[in-house]
């Protein structure tokens, strides 16, 4: 008896369907009851691969725009779409799905940094998600700051303390603020260094500091290094040997053994009783998908130049959040004038946000100060 598509196991059928583009998958799923049953199974979910491909490419098929109108598509796929798709596409081009309140909450927590939850108030999670997404789109493409008159930012001091500061959003200029910080630390003669800590769908967390050869260990900022390079996490080669000479256990590849991205693999490191886990709320962008672990591919360059030729972070480290446009080229190190030109595209970043993306810093910070000064 000849083998037909429908005589195959459902798992194999789902795999075959998952290799189709969305247009073809929509047609094939309507050919028979069995194919429709496989396509609508939330466990098998053959829609996930083509949806992921559309999200990654940024060039969407026609079926992608109104996919929510098809009841055959499992609702779970929309958590990925609402987390990763550009604001303009979700707000103005696509048809929104009918999701449960818990699913809208999941989308909100995976997409937005936790400090933005202050705008939730009495809104439903659906209302909050749509309003926040419109706010992100509006702030990204305009200079309007009426909804956030003051922009908060974090400063990691070399003495181990942290200041949560704020400045007027209308004239918020990180480079001007950091220039004053350098002057107060007697570091004005040294150029600032910009590092991308992590990138998310709508924002990227940026650290601005001075990376240079220190004249004295007293001016070295140990916490600045710990934020960008979590203690115990190293880049390793395919044999699991640390490139700096130390071995790490508990190997894990997020895509399985068949998807190891040579020449690097990812290692978890057990520091005491705590394990570094990949951040999921909010969900990092593709360039930092393994954050806080190292992500191969060139986008995650937190390890670049750290401690090379004796260079170390000196003085205070400023940590801010910059709004980014869809498909923006996220550079690792920007020109100072190019960076300063986006003064209107920054949002608040609080101590709570810092602990969310870097929970290991809680053990290292000696004092948290709300506002300027040394604290009491």
Say whether both 196 and 260 belong to one domain: yes
> For the ranges 40-44, 228-232, 240-244, 357-361, which has the lowest average pLDDT?
240-244
Say whether both 103 and 11 belong to one domain: no
Residue 372 pLDDT class (50, 70, 90 cuts): confident
Say whether both 162 and 275 belong to one domain: yes
- In tens, the pLDDT along 143-182 reads 888 888 899 999 999 999 999 999 998 888 899 999 999 9
CA dihedral defined by 335, 341, 344, 345, rounded to 10 degrees? -40
Whether residue 3 is contained in a domain is answered as yes
Long-range contacts of 351-356, Cβ-Cβ distance < 8 Å, separation of 24 or more: 351/154, 351/162, 351/164, 352/114, 352/115, 353/113, 353/114, 353/115, 353/205, 353/321, 354/154, 354/162, 354/319, 356/113, 356/114, 356/279, 356/281, 356/282
Tell me how far apart the alpha carbons of residues 210 and 187 are, in angstroms, rounded to a whole number.
8
Taking residues 17-28, what's their average pLDDT? Answer: 91
Asked which of 119, 142, 165 is the last residue of a domain, the reply is 142
Whether residue 85 is contained in a domain is answered as yes
Cis, peptide link before residue 263, omega less than 30° from 0: yes
Q: With 80 as the cut, is the pLDDT of residue 136 above it?
A: yes
Taking residues 308-334, what's their average pLDDT? Answer: 74
Say whether both 114 and 36 belong to one domain: no
Whether residue 375 is contained in a domain is answered as no
Q: What is the pLDDT of residue 254?
A: 34
Q: What is the pLDDT of residue 71?
A: 86
Entry pTM = 0.83
Q: Which has the higher per-residue pLDDT, 268 or 229?
A: 229
Count: domains in the chain: 3
Asked which of 74, 102, 130 is the last residue of a domain, the reply is 74
Range(s) of the domain holding residue 117? 80-142
Q: With 80 as the cut, is the pLDDT of residue 134 above it?
A: yes
Q: What is the pLDDT of residue 268?
A: 45
Tell me how far apart the alpha carbons of residues 155 and 161 are, in angstroms, rounded to a whole number.
9
Q: What is the pLDDT of residue 69?
A: 86
DSSP 23-45: HHHHHHTTS-HHHHHHHH-TTT-
Q: With 70 as the cut, is the pLDDT of residue 259 above it?
A: no
Taking residues 340-348, what's their average pLDDT? Answer: 67
Q: With 80 as the cut, is the pLDDT of residue 359 above it?
A: yes
Say whether both 106 and 63 belong to one domain: no
Say whether both 260 and 315 belong to one domain: yes
Name the β-bridge partners of 265.
236
Say whether both 134 and 158 belong to one domain: no
């Amino acid at each position: 008896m000849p083998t037909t598509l429908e005589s195959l196991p459902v798992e194999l059928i789902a795999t075959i369907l998952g290799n189709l583009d969305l247009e073809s998958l929509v047609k094939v799923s309507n050919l028979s009851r069995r194919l429709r049953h496989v396509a609508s199974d939330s466990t098998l979910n053959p829609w996930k691969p083509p949806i992921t491909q559309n999200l990654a490419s940024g060039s969407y098929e026609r079926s992608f725009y109104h996919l929510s109108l098809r009841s055959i598509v499992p609702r779970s796929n929309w958590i990925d779409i609402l987390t990763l798709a550009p604001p303009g596409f979700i707000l103005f081009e696509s048809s929104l799905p009918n999701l449960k309140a818990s699913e809208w909450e999941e989308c909100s927590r995976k997409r937005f940094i936790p400090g933005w939850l202050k705008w939730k108030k009495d809104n439903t999670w659906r209302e909050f998600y749509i309003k926040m997404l419109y706010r992100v789109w509006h702030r990204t493409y305009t200079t309007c700051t009426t909804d956030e008159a003051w922009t908060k930012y974090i400063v990691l001091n070399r003495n181990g303390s942290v200041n949560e500061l704020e400045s007027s959003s209308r004239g918020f200029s990180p480079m001007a603020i950091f220039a004053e910080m350098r002057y107060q630390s007697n570091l004005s003669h040294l150029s600032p260094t910009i590092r991308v800590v992590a990138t998310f769908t709508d924002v990227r967390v940026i650290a601005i500091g001075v990376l240079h050869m220190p004249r004295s260990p007293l001016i070295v900022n140990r916490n600045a290094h710990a934020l960008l390079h979590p203690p115990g996490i190293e880049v390793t080669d395919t044999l699991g040997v640390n490139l700096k000479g130390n071995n790490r256990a508990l190997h894990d590849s997020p895509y399985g053994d068949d998807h190891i991205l040579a020449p690097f693999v990812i290692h978890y490191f057990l520091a005491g009783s705590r394990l570094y886990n990949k951040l999921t709320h909010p969900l990092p962008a593709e360039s930092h998908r393994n954050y806080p672990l190292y992500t191969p591919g060139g986008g995650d360059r937190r390890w670049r130049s750290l401690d090379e030729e004796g260079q170390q972070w000196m003085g205070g480290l400023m940590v801010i959040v910059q709004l980014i446009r869809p498909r923006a080229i996220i550079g690792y190190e920007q020109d100072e004038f190019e960076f300063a030109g986006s003064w209107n595209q920054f949002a608040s970043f609080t101590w709570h946000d810092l602990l969310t993306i870097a929970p290991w810093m809680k053990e290292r910070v000696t004092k948290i100060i709300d506002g300027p000064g040394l604290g009491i």
